[in-house]
Amino acid sequence: MAVREEDLRQRVAELLAAHDPAATDRLDFLRARFDAGLAWVHFPEGLGGLGAPRPLQAVVDAELAAAGAPGNDPRKIGIGLGMAAPTILAYGTEEQKRRFLRPLWTGEEVWCQLFSEPGAGSDLAALGTRAVLDDDTWTVDGQKVWTSSAHTARWAILIARTDPDVPKHRGITYFVCDMTDPGVEVRPLRQITGEAEFNEVFLTGVRIPDAHRLGAVGEGWQVAQTTLNNERVAIGGQAAPREAGMVGVVAGTWRARPELRTHDLHQRLLKGWVDAEVARLTGERLRQQLAVGQPGPEGAAMKLAFARLAQELSGLEVELLAEDGLAYDDWTMVRPDHVDFTGREAGYRYLRAKGNSIEGGTSEILRNIIAERVLGLPGEPRADKNVPWKELPR
Amino acid sequence: MTDATGPADLLYSEVEEELRSSVRALLADHCPPEAILARCEGPVPYDPALWRKLAADLGTAGLQVPEELGGAGASLRETAVVLEELGRSAAPVPFLGSAVLATTALLACGAEELVSSLAGGERTAALAVPLSTAPGAGFPATVRVDGAGTLSGRITSVADALVADVLLVPAVGPDGAALYAVDAAAAGLAVARRTSLDLTRPLADLALTGVPGRRLAAGAAAGEAVRRALLTGAGLLASEQLGIAEWCLSTTVAYLKDRTQFARPVGSFQALKHRLADLWLETVGARAAARYAADVLARGDADAEVAVAVAQAHCGAVAVRAAEECVQLHGGIGMTWEHPAHLYLKRAKADQIALGTPGAHRAALAHLVDLPAPVAG
Ligand SMILES: Cc1cc2nc3c(=O)[nH]c(=O)nc-3n(C[C@H](O)[C@H](O)[C@H](O)COP(=O)(O)OP(=O)(O)OC[C@H]3O[C@@H](n4cnc5c(N)ncnc54)[C@H](O)[C@@H]3O)c2cc1C
């Protein structure tokens, strides 16, 4: 029987009655919330959800926030929540789902994404990290790069080449990699913002039990599509109130600093505001269409719009601030434990937003996806089709 | 509308090209990106040895200064060529502040002795106004002069003040506006570095409490000296912006020829070729606008204000776009500290604000070319 809004309110009330947020340890509360099926209501029962329609999550979140309940800080566990979880849910064994999803959601275990390599970014399917099976253990060797939160992660979703003799898309397998394995070496990579949010990760003789494989051997590319489609929605397609995100920040600056206003900036801000509102409504509409099931290539459109807006608006804010826009808060190299696109000051936001059109698939690749998979335009002639991976030029 | 009263020369002379080669060679040897990155977070981001070579040995600090005052007796056209090269290398040197802004102000005041010492490169000076000040802004009034002729007040975000030996301070007192020379070592003057978005052009906040100053010009002459310095600075900044855009374009083109994805050079994808073709077109425009501004400023032509407004309204945006494309088209590596692209992005973004935003320059143009804004109501 379908779960209704009243049922959810009832469940929230029961959770709060049994675990008074004011008197309960944060982690205990989060675990109890997960066990009550109120973590992500659209997930199945027993895995933090109730099989309820996804939009009802907002009801739960609002009730719990009003009661002062602690949250799981999505800024620290975005890759787990947005990418690993839906992939595990779609492809994991029962055992994998039970083992991984609860600590992922509570934030006890941070996840990172070991996909990109120095030679395989946009052309991710060309990746060269090797995984070889011996008995029931895989041995992994290779190098990954631009890995956000590798320095805080307990687990990684990893794609590696398991068959170099077949065309590139067919020889890839998807794994869950233990970041505490002695063969995993994480080195910080400093970003243009001054901080090192991402890393390079060297994998040398890393051991992965076959039980930590997600999906069939050689079908890692399909599994990765689930991750990537969810990543784009996670970055660009979240439900949000009007003036959330970058537009809200810039609007706030505009309202607070009347002395900076000019006609030119005013028109540009209003245009950005309209674009942001239209993007918000587009996302809302998309979510209504996709209330059930996995996101498709349309998610690419949301992420494309998000990146463009974030960049235009953050650039406008620096210009608006004029003399204050010449300043920067702090260049000190730190390794942050969270990602916050709208945090810190205008200069930081401007620089960080530059990554939005690169991470999770560049805006150019997203346009190709829209052109080819949404509009059905013919693809580029491919030199790498039907060629065994090992024979590809590099 | 009329344009320049004399024929404008938008090309480069042989002498200018020679100057460019020697500046470029010097910067290639002494100012590679690694060296800039290594310095930019230290206490003083400038390389004094580089400055000596550039300013004194090559004589670039005195290009616009007459020979009888110890300069090269060239003009703002040559000065602009140096700025193109400095933009191209994102060099951390106090050229804009000292050789352009301060020198122009001092020449306008007839402060010959100071001009000579700057022209030789042995001393540097900074015009003490916020870097964001547009040429059309009113006379800065944050510093007051008292009856005894000492100066008190604050000036924020001054470019190239950190290493300046002399600060040119606009101040207002009982006798009206005046421009003062203040010794950087004077008692009562505090120069504090401000963390700046542009890693290669540091800013400083000045606090003056009863600081002695030497009056260089008063009244209308002081106002004119500051205005002319800002107008010249804004016009020549376009050449720096051109240099930034060119570096970003050529570096990106080279990278996309080399970088392979999908078993082919990424630069072979038409979507990117078109983007770079558009960017090239914009830089061609930037070159014409920057050259025109330099030429009319050099000749003291009546069209200078229009030329500067056009150059700034166009070139500021081109440099930013080129730098943003450079980061984007390098992919992940473009987001790293290690790759020099960010030095240009930060310089370009700060330059867009420096000496008036494109919006401020468009607004100035509205008056100059009689395209008034709609009447409020
Ligand atoms: C802040 C940040 C965080 C990241 N976090 C992670 C992470 O956690 N895990 C992870 O695995 N990866 C991560 N990435 C990596 C990211 O996914 C890649 O950088 C991205 O896919 C691009 O790959 P690349 O850097 O190799 O660029 P390239 O693929 O070399 O691309 C260079 C340029 O060419 C363009 N281009 C390439 N192919 C085409 C084409 N066919 N048509 C038109 N243009 C094309 C690209 O759009 C880009 O502008 C992160 C990146 C950033 C910037």
DSSP labels, A341-367: TT-S-HHHHHHHHGGGGTTTS-HHHHH
To test the ligand 1 pocket, which listed residue (A122, A152, A177, A340) has its Cβ within 8 A of the most ligand atoms? A122
Specify whether the CB–CB gap between A307 and A356 falls below 8 A. Answer: yes
Q: How close, in Å, is residue A327 to chain B by CA atoms?
A: 4
The Cα A110–Cα A77 span in angstroms is: 6
Kindly report, as residue ranges, where domains of CATH 1.20.140.10 are found in chain B. 223-368
At A294 the pLDDT is 65
Q: Which amino acid is at A184?
A: V
| DSSP code at position A297 | T
Q: How close, in Å, is residue A61 to chain B by CA atoms?
A: 35
User: What does the pLDDT look like over B184-203, one tens digit per residue?
Assistant: 999 999 999 999 999 999 99
Kindly report, as residue ranges, where domains of CATH 2.40.110.10 are found in chain B. 143-221
Specify whether the CB–CB gap between B89 and B343 falls below 8 A. Answer: no
The end-to-end CA distance of chain A, in Å, is 55
A354·B199 Cβ contact <8 A: no
Closest CA to B311 of B295, B279, B288, B282: B288
Extract the tokens encoding A170.
Answer: 């067919």
* DSSP three-state, residue B23: helix
Q: How close, in Å, is residue B85 to chain A by CA atoms?
A: 22
Residue with tokens 């930590």: A212
User: Is B337 in CB contact (< 8 Å) with chain A?
Assistant: yes
Q: Which amino acid is at A301?
A: A
**Residue A243 annotated as catalytic:** no
Q: Which pairing describes strands A155-161 and A111-114: parallel, antiparallel, or unpaired?
A: parallel
- Nearby residues of B284 by Cβ (< 8 Å), 6 or more positions away: none
B327·A323 Cβ contact <8 A: no
- Nearby residues of B43 by Cβ (< 8 Å), 6 or more positions away: none
The Cα A27–Cα A75 span in angstroms is: 17
B354·A326 Cβ contact <8 A: yes
Among protein residues, the one whose CA lies closest to atom 33 of ligand 1: B329
To test the ligand 1 pocket, which listed residue (A175, A201, A362) has its Cβ within 8 A of the most ligand atoms? A362
Specify whether the CB–CB gap between A115 and A381 falls below 8 A. Answer: no
Among the options A231, A312, A317, A359, which is catalytic?
A: A231
Q: Is domain B14-124 annotated with CATH 1.10.540.10?
A: yes
At A198 the pLDDT is 96
Q: How close, in Å, is residue A261 to chain B by CA atoms?
A: 11
CA of A360 to the centre of ligand 1 (A): 8
Closest CA to B245 of B84, B27, B31: B84
Q: Which pairing describes strands B264-265 and B260-261: parallel, antiparallel, or unpaired?
A: antiparallel
| DSSP code at position B372 | P
User: What does the pLDDT look like over B160-186, one tens digit per residue?
Assistant: 999 999 999 999 999 899 999 999 999
- Nearby residues of B194 by Cβ (< 8 Å), 6 or more positions away: A327, B156, B157, B202, B203, B204, B205
Extract the tokens encoding A184.
Answer: 């995993």
At A385 the pLDDT is 85
Atom of ligand 1 nearest to the CA of B332: 25
Torsion of CA A311, B37, B157, B85, to 10 degrees: -90
A192·B157 Cβ contact <8 A: no
Q: Is domain B143-221 annotated with CATH 2.40.160.40?
A: no
At B204 the pLDDT is 97
The Cα B62–Cα B73 span in angstroms is: 8
B157·A323 Cβ contact <8 A: yes
Mean pLDDT by 10 residues, chain A (394 residues): 88 97 96 98 96 90 96 94 96 98 98 98 98 98 98 98 97 98 98 97 98 98 94 79 96 98 96 96 82 70 94 98 98 94 96 97 96 93 90 86
Specify whether the CB–CB gap between A115 and A126 falls below 8 A. Answer: no
In chain A, which ranges are E strands? 111-114, 130-134, 137-148, 155-161, 172-178, 184-189, 198-209, 213-214
The Cα B140–Cα B158 span in angstroms is: 13
Considering Cα of A5, then A11, then A16, then A21, what sign does the dihedral take? negative
Within 10 Å of residue A234's Cβ, how many Cβ atoms? Answer: 22
Nearest-CA residue of chain A relative to B261? A123
Within 10 Å of residue B40's Cβ, how many Cβ atoms? Answer: 19
A318·B353 Cβ contact <8 A: yes
B223-368: CATH topology = Butyryl-CoA Dehydrogenase, subunit A; domain 3 (1.20.140)
User: Is B268 in CB contact (< 8 Å) with chain A?
Assistant: no
Backbone angles phi, psi at B265, to 5 degrees: -60, 135
Exposed, middle or buried, B174 (CB in 10 Å: 0-12/13-18/19+)?
Answer: exposed
Phi-psi label, residue B156: left if phi above 0, alpha if psi -120 to 50, beta otherwise: beta
At B377 the pLDDT is 58
The Cα A180–Cα A39 span in angstroms is: 27
CA of A359 to the centre of ligand 1 (A): 6
- Distances in Å between the alpha carbon of B320 and those of A88, B133, B244, B300? 42, 19, 9, 29
Kindly report, as residue ranges, where domains of CATH 1.10.540.10 are found in chain B. 14-124
- Nearby residues of A290 by Cβ (< 8 Å), 6 or more positions away: A296, A298
CA of A122 to the centre of ligand 1 (A): 5
Within 10 Å of residue B243's Cβ, how many Cβ atoms? Answer: 27
Q: Which residues of A touch B266 (CB under 8 A)?
A: 122
Within 10 Å of residue B150's Cβ, how many Cβ atoms? Answer: 20
At A42 the pLDDT is 93
Q: Which amino acid is at A382?
A: R
Among protein residues, the one whose CA lies closest to atom 20 of ligand 1: A121
Specify whether the CB–CB gap between B280 and B249 falls below 8 A. Answer: yes
CA of B81 to the centre of ligand 1 (A): 36
Domains of chain A in start order, with CATH, are 5-106 (1.10.540.10), 111-220 (2.40.110.10), 237-361 (1.20.140.10)
Nearest-CA residue of chain A relative to B352? A319
The Cα B373–Cα B377 span in angstroms is: 12
The Cα B287–Cα B282 span in angstroms is: 9
Which candidate from B264, B332, B349 shows the least CB-CB separation from A318? B349
Q: Which amino acid is at B14?
A: E
Cross-strand partners of B182 = B167
pLDDT in tens, chain B (377 residues): 567 777 899 999 999 999 999 999 999 999 999 999 999 988 888 889 999 999 999 999 999 999 999 999 999 999 999 999 999 999 999 999 999 999 999 999 999 999 999 999 999 999 999 999 999 999 999 999 999 999 999 999 999 999 999 999 999 999 899 999 999 999 999 999 999 999 999 999 999 999 999 999 999 999 999 999 999 999 999 999 999 999 999 999 999 999 999 999 999 999 999 999 999 999 999 999 999 999 999 999 999 999 999 999 999 999 999 999 999 999 999 999 999 999 999 999 999 999 999 999 999 999 999 999 998 75
